[in-house]
Copies of this chain bind each other. A is one copy, B any other.
Amino acid sequence: MKNLRVIVVKSAWICSLVLSVFSTAWSHERQLPPVPEGASPGLQKAISAAGAPSTRRRQVSAPTTEDEWRAAAAIMASAPGPSLSDISGQLNVTIAAQVIAGVDVYWINPMGTPKTKGLLMYLHDGAYVFGGGVKSVPEAARISAIAKIPSIAIDYRRPPDDPYPAALDDVEAVYRSLLKTHSPENIGIGGTSAGGGLSLASVHRFNDVGLPAPGALYLGTPWADLTKTGDTFYTLAGVDRILGSYEGLLENAAHLYAAGADLKNPLLSPVYGEFSGFPPAYLVTGTRDLFLSDTARVHRKLRAAGVEAELNVYEGLSHAEYLFIEGSLEHAAIYQELSIFLNRHLGSP
């Protein structure tokens, strides 16, 4: 796994550098908390290596115009990352680019006999703007490899060319197609960050259009509220080493994606929707995660609606940082427990 890990770490470093440059400001001048002793050695090392955020970065503006967004997306797309054959070789999965109902997807199959009839519709991260193409695949492939179930990583359309509701339309189209050959209780849906938020919004959409709910939800620190409402946008500003602050990239991406729609529409900020009838959910966040509040608020809404939901909060973890700390105990625990969860809920072979 070493080569892939080096590529992922390099890619993460460059992506977080790019994200940092686009974040305008930490809302408080903060003394950074010490490296958390209760985190694993792997996470501690990653946090130590990151150092303090540079003040210079805070003065650079996040993209605002469509051209600036296109330029930023091009930088992110050209950041080094594993190729499909890297991923395939290292994780022992097959990956096929396909088109389902007019939507670009990657169909990922683990080697050997599947453990269940289940499969995962995977929605990638990237603030709704970044992360398509080959970058749709790595986390989906990781889950397929560990859970031994196929994933369909959806390369959903993104702004500025295709803002809301294009991404939702794509997910709905793929889901309708999968339902011709699969039972909804065998289909999971999930992803990290925007992928988690889009998964929640998709279940609201399925409900709106009369489609059955899927069988399980993976909500990795979901972007469940596009507005600056969550408590931890305030309490952890300047502490989350991946995102830094709401102001800047996140705020601008929210408006770019919404394209004039009300940010509190449940199809954009799914925490404001109704959760009765939602499938069992596995949620992950961390004590330094700007989206800790959003994750916890969704967990509470699910539990209040009587939905089975497992909330997991990792010591010292910033937003979506588990994607980047391969080899750490946190990374291993998150995907191991997610695999058990998906296999428990998506049916037996």
Instruction: List residues of chain A with CB under 8 Å of any chain B CB.
Output: 28, 30-31, 33-34, 36-39, 225, 229-232, 234-236, 239, 271, 287-288, 292-293, 296-297, 299-300, 303-304, 310-316, 333, 337
Asked if residues B297 and A231 are in contact (CB atoms below 8 Å), the reply is no
Asked if residues A38 and B313 are in contact (CB atoms below 8 Å), the reply is no
Residues of B within 8 Å of A296, CB to CB, are 287, 313-315
Return the contact of A287 from the options B30, B39, B231 (Cβ within 8 A): B231
Given the interface pairs A235-B235, A288-B235, the reply to whether A230 lies near B300 with Cβ below 8 Å is: no
Return the contact of A235 from the options B236, B300, B304 (Cβ within 8 A): B236
Residues of B within 8 Å of A293, CB to CB, are 36, 38, 287, 315
Could you tell me the distance between the alpha carbons of A298 and B272 in the complex, rounded to whole angstroms? 30
Could you tell me the distance between the alpha carbons of A316 and B236 in the complex, rounded to whole angstroms? 13
Asked if residues A230 and B315 are in contact (CB atoms below 8 Å), the reply is yes
Asked if residues A337 and B303 are in contact (CB atoms below 8 Å), the reply is yes
Residues of B within 8 Å of A313, CB to CB, are 292, 296, 299-300, 311, 313
A95 CB to nearest chain B CB (Å):
31
Asked if residues B333 and A304 are in contact (CB atoms below 8 Å), the reply is yes
Asked if residues A297 and B315 are in contact (CB atoms below 8 Å), the reply is yes
Residues of B within 8 Å of A225, CB to CB, are 38
Residues of B within 8 Å of A297, CB to CB, are 38, 315
Asked if residues A312 and B316 are in contact (CB atoms below 8 Å), the reply is no
Could you tell me the distance between the alpha carbons of A178 and B158 in the complex, rounded to whole angstroms? 62
A311 CB to nearest chain B CB (Å):
5
Asked if residues A235 and B239 are in contact (CB atoms below 8 Å), the reply is yes
Could you tell me the distance between the alpha carbons of A297 and B40 in the complex, rounded to whole angstroms? 11
A286 CB to nearest chain B CB (Å):
9
Could you tell me the distance between the alpha carbons of A59 and B193 in the complex, rounded to whole angstroms? 42
Asked if residues A33 and B231 are in contact (CB atoms below 8 Å), the reply is yes
Given the interface pairs A287-B292, A292-B287, the reply to whether A316 lies near B33 with Cβ below 8 Å is: no
Given the interface pairs A287-B292, A293-B38, the reply to whether A33 lies near B235 with Cβ below 8 Å is: yes
Asked if residues B312 and A231 are in contact (CB atoms below 8 Å), the reply is no
Residues of B within 8 Å of A235, CB to CB, are 33, 235-236, 239, 287-288
A59 CB to nearest chain B CB (Å):
20
Interface centre among A288, A296, A303, by most chain B C-beta atoms within 10 angstroms, is A296
A53 CB to nearest chain B CB (Å):
15
Name 29 A/B residue pairs within 8 A (Cβ), A-sorted: A28-B30, A28-B31, A33-B234, A34-B234, A36-B231, A36-B293, A38-B230, A38-B231, A38-B271, A231-B287, A231-B288, A232-B287, A235-B236, A235-B239, A235-B288, A287-B292, A287-B293, A292-B313, A293-B315, A296-B313, A296-B315, A297-B315, A300-B313, A300-B315, A300-B333, A303-B312, A310-B310, A311-B312, A313-B313
